[in-house]
Amino acid sequence: MTVGNNAPVNAILKDVQYHPVTDKILHIDFQELVPNRAVKVSVPVEFVGSAQGIQDGGTLVPVLRKLKINFRFGIRIFYQDKGLGTYGRYRDTSQ
């Protein structure tokens, strides 16, 4: 984003305040993304594709709809189904 005649910076939207009656935007907060500095954000979880358990007649019961993460500018996060089947669970034990 660019403000005035300043150099462009990478930023994320942090907060939006709306008018309680008209829903017009009153105020917007941004946070600058600085390389190698962590940022705390809440991101929505998107379920893509169809796991084997669902294909076998199971039902997806999402426990989390958002994740709170610390990240550094420029990273990407992926999760791939590891073939856990209908009753499988995945738990990250790397920490």
Question: Contact at 8 Å (CB) between 33 and 39?
Answer: yes
The larger pLDDT score, comparing residue 84 to residue 67, is at 67
* Domain map (residue ranges) of the chain: 1-33, 38-95
Tens of pLDDT along 23-77?
999 999 998 888 878 888 888 888 777 777 788 888 888 888 888 888 776 666 6
Structure tokens of 86? 């209908």
- 34 backbone dihedrals φ, ψ, rounded to 5°: -110, 130
pTM over 0.75: no
